[in-house]
Structure 1
Amino acid sequence: MGIQRRNVLAGGLALAALPAIGQGKQYGPGASDTEIKIGNTIPYSGPASAYGIIGRVEAAYFKMLNEQGGIGGRKINYISLDDGYSPPKAVEMIRRLVEQDEVLFTMSTLGTPSNSAIHKYMNQKKVPHLFLATGASKWNDPKNFPWTMGFNPNYESEGRLYGQDILRNRPTAKVAVLYQNDDYGKDYLKGFMEGLGEKGKGLVVKSVSYEVTDPTVDSQIVTLQSSGADTFFNITTPKFAAQAIRKVADIGWKPVHYLNQVSSSVGSVLKPAGLDKSVGLISMQYIKDPTEPRWASDAAMKDYFAFMKKYLPNEDPADGSATYAMAVSQLTVQLLKQCGNNLTRENVMKQAASIKGFQIPMALPGVLADTSAGDYALFQTMQLVKFDGKTWQGFGEPVAVR
């Protein structure tokens, strides 16, 4: 089957608020009195392997929960498979999870291309396809795809935020754009152009794309510099983001540099690129940054660092993808808490569409998870941030993303 990695870890937290296992139990595939089976595919290998830490953190989190007694007395059987950031491989792995492992639902499958490849299949099979690690706008389409729900704020909305910021603060900017040539990159670019508006579209003097199979984006950066641009929107995944940041600095280009949030991790992107070369980057946040001093006494962050030290001592706790994974895991536990003893795929989806003002411990204060049957977008606000050489610092007021 070409499986690169398979994690089948049991873990769980005893939640006193959950109803005891007893009368009124309803089970679908992947659920029983003793087990809840959850599937995941993620790139542990390939061009987006930096995101593999998300799967490792989720596996460790569920392991921790199971050691504490499970969720409602049931252990989480988390099955995480390597898709190499390859859509055909993702299809193969998802079919295995649904048809052989018979998971109750999938969570945190990563990447716009891979999720696009399994989108119709999951809805045809009526398997909850939840909390996708991608912010493509199409995940919020409950009318046509009622079994799919994203996690990240919408890429288009985030791109629009940056475009509006440039239009407001740099109305004479000369803008260059680098984007990944797929739905992920094009979603960001679409929102960015909408944010600039009709008057602002003329500010973009050059845009170039790259393929995920490209070895580097160095030549694209040189091309963009030669355009005379003084502002740069960097729409890249971690490997290429680090390359772009480093190349921009190495060739002496000094644009106002906007970086998409999915590659804003200090640990997996900015450190490899060079913290000194990352000073001044502008991005956005909705999850707490583990490098930010203001969270030093925060209870949720203290729990996070203790968890990482005990369960993943060889991973970098400064990696923002790790706090992201913790947030997704915490929301998944809330979902299962809402499901109680009705662990059918239909009820899982019903409860996912009924999350009301939940403050995920690892999310920024006031950034609440909230869904309805007609709107699957989880988050409504995000915060512009600038990197000071050590950590991201917020500026301005949080901005609505819808």
Structure 2
Amino acid sequence: MTRNSLLAAVAACALGLSVPALAATYDEGASDTEIKIGNTNPYSGPASAYGSIGKSIAACMKKVNAEGGINGRQINFISLDDGYSPPKTVEQTRKLVESEGVLAVVQGLGTPTNSAVHKYFNKKEVPQLFVSTGATKWGDPKNYPWTMGWQPNYQTEGQIYANYLLQNKPDAKVAILYQNDDYGKDYVKGMKDGLGAKAEEMIVAEETYEVTDPTIDSQMVNLKNSGADTFYNVTTPKFAAQAIRKIADLGWQPLHLLNSVSNSVGSVLKPAGFDKSVGVISALYLKDPTDPAWANDPDYLEWLDWMNTYFPDGDKTDAFTAYGYAVCNTIIEVIKNMGDDITRANLMKQAASLKDLQVPMLLPGITINTGPDDFYPIEQMQLVKFDGSEWVRFGPVLSGTRAGGGGS
């Protein structure tokens, strides 16, 4: 609208005359009827357990579209398989942006995969929104204003485990297994930062693995032989299950701290063996769908109804389906708040304007908050221990000291 037409509209309002609505504003990937949203997910390869996240978001968008869309627009959710392979992620991301013409890419999964396209998104000024990894690098609006994380960052979670050890097992001898990339290194940095001056004394062994490795058996033998009585397990689902089984095979009985990205009962603990998983400690920020405490909870009942209606083939014991539903509802809120200004800049503006947002399946006391200088939406977690059938929450909702720097 020009300055003259705006003045005319103001004058018309003063005279009580009707004024035509301002026209909607669109970037590529949006129109009066549709918003195209892209996604990359490992539906194949070593991290395929995470594929249920992409399937959950797709099922959530089916629900949105069946109910009339968002502000009258249908969501065209295009999710492509990248196999957790950075070169494939580059290829699929270019396809989404340059061929499909999506407005944004949301919930791309994986630290190494997202790292491969981090600069691409920011050079193209295309939102890389609610990245499905807790690396701290996703919260750097000054240098990467088109990228934002969603889940608690890995350094914060590592600090939470460190604080637990300092309070409950200050003489622990810690052995660490971690994936040899930013994801693994971020978790280890959080642990070391949390232990502070005691880190060098308490950490007695570290082993790494590559995502292409078939097993981590030799690393587990080395860690057991270090004399450690505490195991910090920084692995993705396939290797987390292997580690749990190997600990039992070796007759090792350490205190077991398992990173949250692999604490799904259905995808990790069940294949590893519930009996072998007893006593494992992790951290949650979402309601575990296997926890009977939520049986009559409105969030859980809403999630269950959605699963039965829109994702009947999904695994109801898989925490990744709860994750997918929660993050999808965050995306919905941001798009809703865009109104008729469906531009990439407004998408990032609205994503950075969330205040005390509660979405289904977040634990009580945990809300989503962002700002122009705060690209870390969720910053709280609660410790849990597996009792052989479910995670049992204990202690208060916790926060680590936010860290900066680089890190499934």
TM-score (norm 2): 0.92
Offset at residue 95 of structure 1 (A): 0.6
Counterpart position of 2:90? 91
Q: Which has the larger radius of gyration?
A: 2
Q: Deviations over 1:207-230 (max 9, x none)?
A: 100000000111111111111111
**1:271 aligns to 2:270 (yes or no):** yes
User: Which deviates more from structure 2 when the two are superposed, residues 139-148 or residues 303-312?
Assistant: 303-312
User: Which deviates more from structure 2 when the two are superposed, residues 197-206 or residues 256-265?
Assistant: 197-206
Q: Is 2:151–2:379's contact at 8 Å kept on the other side of the alignment?
A: no
Counterpart position of 2:10? none
Counterpart position of 2:99? 100
Offset at residue 300 of structure 1 (A): 1.4
Q: Deviations over 1:101-135 (max 9, x none)?
A: 11111111000000100000000000011011100
Counterpart position of 2:288? 289
Q: Deviations over 1:320-357 (max 9, x none)?
A: 11100001100000001110111000100111111111
User: Which deviates more from structure 2 when the two are superposed, residues 262-271 or residues 363-372?
Assistant: 363-372
1:333-348 correspondence to structure 2 within 5 Å: 333-348=332-347
The letter for the 2-side match of 1:272 is P
The letter for the 2-side match of 1:281 is V
Q: Is 1:24–1:342's contact at 8 Å kept on the other side of the alignment?
A: no
Counterpart position of 2:194? 195
Q: Is 1:359–1:366's contact at 8 Å kept on the other side of the alignment?
A: no
Rounded to whole Å, the distance in 1 between the matches of 2:133 and 2:379 is: 16
Q: Is 1:177–1:234's contact at 8 Å kept on the other side of the alignment?
A: yes
Offset at residue 282 of structure 1 (A): 0.5
The letter for the 2-side match of 1:55 is G
- Partner of 1:268, secondary structure, is helix
Q: Is 2:184–2:234's contact at 8 Å kept on the other side of the alignment?
A: yes
Counterpart position of 1:349? 348
Rounded to whole Å, the distance in 2 between the matches of 1:340 and 1:248 is: 53
Counterpart position of 1:8? none
Offset at residue 171 of structure 1 (A): 1.2
Counterpart position of 1:250? 249
Offset at residue 304 of structure 1 (A): 1.0
- Partner of 1:85, secondary structure, is coil
Q: Is 1:90–1:114's contact at 8 Å kept on the other side of the alignment?
A: yes
Offset at residue 201 of structure 1 (A): 2.5
Counterpart position of 2:397? 398
The letter for the 1-side match of 2:274 is L
Counterpart position of 1:35? 34
Counterpart position of 1:241? 240
Counterpart position of 1:13? none
Counterpart position of 2:52? 53
Rounded to whole Å, the distance in 2 between the matches of 1:129 and 1:372 is: 16
Offset at residue 67 of structure 1 (A): 1.1
Structure 1 gaps, min length 5:
1-20
Offset at residue 312 of structure 1 (A): 2.3
The letter for the 1-side match of 2:244 is I
Rounded to whole Å, the distance in 2 between the matches of 1:149 and 1:93 is: 19
Rounded to whole Å, the distance in 2 between the matches of 1:199 and 1:59 is: 45
Q: Could you list the runs of 4 or more consecutive aligned residues of structure 1 that deviate by over 6 angstroms after TM superposition?
A: none
Rounded to whole Å, the distance in 2 between the matches of 1:84 and 1:217 is: 20
1:92-131 correspondence to structure 2 within 5 Å: 92-131=91-130
The letter for the 2-side match of 1:87 is P
Counterpart position of 1:145? 144
Q: How many aligned positions are there?
A: 382
The letter for the 1-side match of 2:361 is M
Relative contact order (alpha carbons < 8 A, sep ≥ 6): 1 or 2 greater? 2
Rounded to whole Å, the distance in 1 between the matches of 2:380 and 2:233 is: 21
Q: Equivalent pairs: percent with the same residue?
A: 58
Rounded to whole Å, the distance in 2 between the matches of 1:278 and 1:202 is: 28
Offset at residue 379 of structure 1 (A): 1.4
Rounded to whole Å, the distance in 1 between the matches of 2:177 and 2:88 is: 27
User: Which deviates more from structure 2 when the two are superposed, residues 230-239 or residues 58-67?
Assistant: 58-67
User: Which deviates more from structure 2 when the two are superposed, residues 389-398 or residues 144-153?
Assistant: 389-398
Q: Is 1:127–1:147's contact at 8 Å kept on the other side of the alignment?
A: yes
User: Which deviates more from structure 2 when the two are superposed, residues 123-132 or residues 63-72?
Assistant: 63-72
Rounded to whole Å, the distance in 2 between the matches of 1:213 and 1:371 is: 35
Offset at residue 92 of structure 1 (A): 0.5
Offset at residue 310 of structure 1 (A): 2.3
User: Which deviates more from structure 2 when the two are superposed, residues 313-322 or residues 102-111?
Assistant: 313-322
- Partner of 1:31, secondary structure, is coil
How large is the Cα RMSD of the aligned pairs? Answer: 1.1
The letter for the 2-side match of 1:348 is L
Rounded to whole Å, the distance in 2 between the matches of 1:306 and 1:248 is: 38
TM-score (norm 1): 0.93
Q: Is 1:359–1:365's contact at 8 Å kept on the other side of the alignment?
A: no
The letter for the 2-side match of 1:294 is A
Offset at residue 53 of structure 1 (A): 0.4
Q: Is 1:178–1:210's contact at 8 Å kept on the other side of the alignment?
A: yes
Offset at residue 22 of structure 1 (A): 5.7
The letter for the 2-side match of 1:358 is L
User: Which deviates more from structure 2 when the two are superposed, residues 392-401 or residues 46-55?
Assistant: 392-401
Offset at residue 316 of structure 1 (A): 1.0
Structure 2 gaps, min length 5:
1-19, 403-408
Rounded to whole Å, the distance in 2 between the matches of 1:272 and 1:213 is: 20
Rounded to whole Å, the distance in 1 between the matches of 2:313 and 2:26 is: 38
Counterpart position of 2:376? 377
